[in-house]
Structure 1
Amino acid sequence: MSERKRLLIVAHAPSPNTQALRDAAADGARHPDIEAVEVTVKPPLEAGPDDVLACDAILLGTTENLGYMSGALKDFFDRSYYPCLEQTQGLPFAFYIRAGHDGTGTRRAIESITTGLRWRLVQDPLICRGDYDPAFEDQCRELGLYLAAGLDAGLF
């Protein structure tokens, strides 16, 4: 059996709806057909550079706050950026945004920071726009499944 890969999910989930999105992403990543991927879920204020350095891919989740990512996710990036800069280039990642508006500023901010880190976006960003829709949970589940399946298959 091959070595287990590690998927880190760092998601800001301050409400029942955003908790449902985070949990759906984790459920997708833990699909029973995926055998060689260990999934760790942490809130941004508890995750840090050691977690990033130990993972093989990362899934980020955030709310849109005043046209930007959550302060908690920004804090995660602030604490992790320089310790990870030289050691995580090419890290496969994806992200989702729970956006009450359009998510544009939030997307731009995440892409700017991850471009600086030289992480590799492996799936188009998922932006859950407007009023809450339970279909967002299915989309997050698929995103988690995609990342974990890609790791399991050795695609990234």
Structure 2
Amino acid sequence: MASKTLLIVAHAPSPNTKKLAQAAYDGANHPDVAINVLLKSPQDTQPEDIMAADALLLGTTENLSYMAGLTKDFFDRCYYAVLEHKQGMPFALYIRAGFDGTGTKLAMKTIITGLHWNQIQDTLILKGDWQEVFVEQVEELAMTLAAGVEAGIY
């Protein structure tokens, strides 16, 4: 049985963002990676979920040049409860942005810096009109994070 857990918190308000959340789950559950994977929406995620995780993958939409309101709510509810306990936690982020994603990326950088989480690679920004390649990119990001956590790299 896998001993490490990857928590995926994905804001998925549309059919396409649901595809991205599923791709993250599928990538983290790659047959060659033995890790527990939990997929939750921001509104259903509690501090206890973060405390039980060895790594976190966050997916959000960009709304009005900022993260989705439910993603912000997730951090509002969980930030201080996990701040002292999860420093150094491996973390990855993807943003589904119709325009450019930079406002969301900057806001997320501020939060992640404050939490002292270890962002394993630069933010994946999926911008512009929908492209099916977004699904593959998110799947690869999740697989990379899961494999690194399982191997003890992160």
The TM-score, its normalising length taken from structure 1, stands at 0.97
Provide the C-alpha distance between the structure 2 equivalents of 1:121 and 1:148, rounded to a whole number of angstroms: 13
Classify the secondary structure of the residue corresponding to 1:45.
helix
- 1:16 counterpart residue number: 15
CA shift at 1:47, angstroms?
A: 0.2
Provide the C-alpha distance between the structure 2 equivalents of 1:100 and 1:115, rounded to a whole number of angstroms: 25
Quote the RMSD (CA, aligned, Å).
0.9
> Gaps (5+ residues) in structure 1?
none
Of the candidates 121, 124, 144, which is equivalent to residue 123 of structure 1? 121
CA shift at 1:40, angstroms?
A: 0.1
Q: After TM superposition, where is structure 1 displaced by more than 3 Å over at least 4 residues in a row?
A: none
Q: Identity over aligned residues, as a percent?
A: 58
- 1:94 counterpart residue number: 92
Provide the C-alpha distance between the structure 2 equivalents of 1:118 and 1:80, rounded to a whole number of angstroms: 14
Equivalent position amino acid for 1:150 in 2: G
Equivalent pairs, count: 154
Provide the C-alpha distance between the structure 2 equivalents of 1:94 and 1:123, rounded to a whole number of angstroms: 7
1:61 aligns with 2:56: no
- 2:81 counterpart residue number: 83
Equivalent position amino acid for 1:96 in 2: Y
User: CA-to-partner distance for each residue in 1:49-99, whole Å, 9 max, x for gaps?
Assistant: 111111000000000000000000100000001001100110110000000
Equivalent position amino acid for 2:148 in 1: G
CA shift at 1:48, angstroms?
A: 1.5
- 1:29 counterpart residue number: 28
Provide the C-alpha distance between the structure 2 equivalents of 1:46 and 1:58, rounded to a whole number of angstroms: 15
Of the candidates 32, 38, 52, which is equivalent to residue 40 of structure 1? 38
Classify the secondary structure of the residue corresponding to 1:93.
strand
Provide the C-alpha distance between the structure 1 equivalents of 2:153 and 2:3, rounded to a whole number of angstroms: 14
CA shift at 1:124, angstroms?
A: 1.3
State how 1:137-148 maps to structure 2 within 5 Å.
137-148=135-146
Provide the C-alpha distance between the structure 1 equivalents of 2:150 and 2:110, rounded to a whole number of angstroms: 28
CA shift at 1:14, angstroms?
A: 0.2
